[in-house]
Structure formats: structure tokens, C-alpha cells
Structure 1
Amino acid sequence: MSGISAETREWLDNLGIEIVDEEAWLDALTHGSFEADSDYERLEFLGDRVLGLSVAEWLFAENNAPEGKLSQRLNALVSGQTCARIARKIGLPEHVRLGKQARDDGARNSDNILGDVMEAVLGAHFLDHGFASTRDLVHQWWAEELKGDLGQAKHPKSALQEWAAGNQRKPPEYELIDRSGPDHAAQFTVRVSVHKVGSAEGTASSKQEAERRAAQAFMEQYG
């Protein structure tokens, strides 16, 4: 296995991250398409839990919102889309190790892959430096999102469900109408319909996000 490149070392150093276990960091930055013995998936599993606890602790300490509101914000703050946005903010995409076909297919810009690698990076940092240090890193990287209103507004799917009920309409129906691209850079298009009202569509790199966008588009048009 080749070592961490000089460019990646410099990037991590600029982020204030000290590498202890180089193999863990190589795994965290390696996609399954790259010719290597292992990839980021196990560290993604670990980092997901570290991220969730770090954000949950911050939310619990910073406000007195009920459980439902806390969960709503937590889900938004740890979503794949948010993780991908943070990954881009810290310059992660250029340091993900990808196979040639994956690179050619645009995997470096995939929200799914960047979100997963972001979690894997947190997993590697946790193994090297423990929870407290990784929690502080999460609070630093997520500061803008934590202090903003992400997740405070009602989820578009919930808003649409309530709108339909309030207008004596049948519940909205979601239908996957298109899936394109390779598995690691897939695009999903979902149509949401409300009987005798209309329909709207949304496209994203995950079915859940496509449904959210479709619901949002419906509310903007008919709500």
C-alpha cells in the first residue's frame, strides 16, 4: 500500500490534524474503486456514531427544545448532504483516492461518496485522538450549521403531508421515475403527486433527498 501523499499530509497539517495511524487515514480516504486492500466503509460506520453523538451533545447543551425538535435538527445536521457540504468546505474532495473509472464518472463530486468519506475521516481521527478531540473538531467544522437554522424548519415531506390533510386531500404519493449513472454517482428522480391537485419532481444523489426536493417543489407550486 502506498503511503499518504505529501499533498494530503500538508492538507491534514493545515487542518491541525496529526497523523498517528497512517493506515487508518489511508483507509478513510480510499474508495472501493481504488486498488487497495481496504477502503473507508468500516471507518464510516465508526465516524457516523462519533458525529451523531458529537452533534447530539451540542444540541442538548445549547437549547431546551423537546425531543422531536432535537431529532429533527440532528437528522439534518448529520445527513449525507450536510457531510458532503462540510467535506467540500475543508477541501476533502481532492484527497479521496478513487479508481480511474470512478474518477471519470464524477465520483469526486458525489454527495454520497463525500458524505461517507467525511464520516470515515472522523472515524480515523477518533481512533488517533479519542472522542473529546474529535468532538471539538466536529464542533469547529460544523459551527456554521450548528449555529444556523438547518433542520429547524419543518421537513418538506412533513409539511406536504400536513398540507394534504388540512386540505382534505389524499396523502401524497412518491414514485421513483428515473435512476441514472453508476452506483457510486447515481442520480434519482422522484415524482410526488396529490390526487386532483398536481405533481412535482425532484432529482438528487439519493432517493430520500430526491423525495425531499420533490415535496419542496410541490409546496412552492401548490402550497
Structure 2
Amino acid sequence: MKLASELKDFCERLGHQFSQPELLIEATTHSSLSSATRSDNQRLEFLGDRVLALVIAQALLNKDKEASEGLLAPRFNALVRKEACADVAVQIDLGSALKLGRSEMLSGGRKKIAILGDAMEAVIAAIYLDAGFDVAEEVILRLWGGRINAAKDDARDPKTTLQEWAQGQKMPPPKYVEIGRSGPDHAPIFEIEAQLSNGGSASASASSKRQAQQMAAAKLLEQVDT
């Protein structure tokens, strides 16, 4: 089976040539384009998530042999969460290799965090099935290497950090309120405000509510004494 030119170019950026190219085709096919004759990448995403988790967990243990589980857990979560996978996907321009349905393509699917993150996990699974764990591990460590080395002692996401801070201050959890929406229906921009019960607030805009919430939480954290 021959790969289309965009997938061949992607293999160069990925640093892996597939002996079973059908695995890469499946990994880059979004559910919006799946059919009776074309499988989407959801099953591979399920497997890739587990392969990534094992590699990152082992890498963190090897990097800091004295760290407690309490320190390792937030570092691990920061490295395997959807935003981190999407960031790596952007780094190797996975978006340009994705196969999307027309509506998803028109709505900016090649840049959506959820789609990119899921596809990155599916690609990891495809490598694992194509060449085994050692090769998958090598690719992950190469792509995530700088992030692993830079993992902070406190790598919790902003929403988690803000909630824990609020609890420490005997406050209820922060609220996240949609205060605005702009752009066309197929590619909306959400404006979210993070609110504390003491009156503190901060807002941010992004193409997904989840990302806007994280950005708003990060801005609000800058205003409080954590």
C-alpha cells in the first residue's frame, strides 16, 4: 500500500517509516471521515494513550530517582494530557496529514486540541503495532524529551492549582462562566471568565471552552498568592 504525499512527508517529520502503512492511514483518519470501508483512529487512540503513559512514567522515574509519587503525579499528568499531546502534534505538523470530513475540516479541525491530541496518541499506537515497544519508546522520548527534562516539581494544570488554592482558603471551587462568543458558527471563539467567591476574576478567549478555562485560571493565579 502506497502512502499519499502528505503522509510520506509526515513520516519524515515523525522520524519513522512504516512497514505497515495502513496503520498510519488509520491513525490519521478522524471519525468524521470514517465509513464501512475506512476505520477511524479511536481504537488506536485508546492503545496509544496507554503506551504513552508507560513510557512517560518510566522516563520520569529514571529522571528523578528520589521523587515521591506526590511530585511525580503532576509531572506525569502535565506530560500526557491532551494539551501536551496536541502541542507535540503541532510541533510535527500532524494536522496537515489528518483525514477529516468536510464539516470538520471547514470548522478548523486541523487545529483543534482534542483532534490533534487524539491523533497523536493514535500515531503512537500505530508505531507500537508497526515496530514494537522499543521503537515507540524511542519516538516518544525524542518528541517529548525537552518537555520531560523541563518538567516542573509542580506541573499541575492551572484549573487544578486554582481549585486547590481556593480550597486552602476555605473557598468553594472556582466558577467558569461563558461571558462571550464570537466568530462563525463553525469556528467559534469562547470567552470564559474564572471567578472566585471573594470577587477575584480573570477572563480569556480560545477556540475551545476547555482551553479558555485553563487560560483564565492561569491569569487568575497570577493575581493570587499561591
Give me the TM-score of the superposition, normalised by structure 1. Answer: 0.84
Percent identity over the alignment is: 39
Distance 1:105 1:166, change over 3 A: closer
After superposition, the Cα gap between the structure-2 partners of 1:123 and 1:187, relative to the gap in structure 1 and judged at 3 Å, is: farther
2:49 is aligned with 1:48? yes
Give yes or no for the alignment of 1:61 onto 2:62.
yes
CA distance in 1, matches of 2:42, 2:184: 18
Which residue type is aligned with residue 135 of structure 1?
A: E
Equivalence for 1:217? 219
Residue 83 of structure 1, CA deviation: 0.8
For 1:183 and 1:136, locate their aligned partners in 2 and report how far apart those are by CA, in whole Å. Answer: 41
RMSD of aligned C-alpha atoms? 2.9
User: Are residue 170 (structure 1) and residue 174 (structure 2) matched?
Assistant: no
Distance change in 2, residues 1:134/1:153 (3 Å)? closer
Q: How far apart are the structure 2 equivalents of 1:72 and 1:157?
A: 13
Q: Is the 8 A contact 1:113 1:184 kept in 2?
A: no
Q: CA deviation at 1:101?
A: 1.7
**Cα deviation per residue 1:166-212 (whole Å; 9 max; x = unaligned)?**
55x52233234268899997765543322233222344455554433
2:88–2:144 CA contact under 8 A, matched in 1: yes
The partner residue of 1:113 within 109, 112, 115 is 115
Deviation of 1:155 (Å)? 4.0
Distance 1:150 1:3, change over 3 A: farther
How far does residue 10 in structure 1 lie from its aligned partner after superposition? 3.7
Counterpart contact for 2:167–2:173, Cα < 8 Å? no
Q: Distance in 1 between matches of 2:71 and 2:145?
A: 19
Q: Letter of the 1:5 partner, please give it.
A: A
Unaligned runs of 5+ in 1: none
* Partner Cα separation in structure 2 for residue 142 and residue 72 of structure 1: 16
CA–CA separation in structure 1 for the residues paired with 2:72 and 2:186: 31
Q: CA shift at 1:7, angstroms?
A: 3.1
1:22 alignment counterpart: 21
Query: What TM-score do the two structures reach when normalised by structure 2?
Result: 0.83
Partner Cα distance (2:13, 2:54) in 1: 26
State the distance in 2 between where 1:184 and 1:152 align. 36
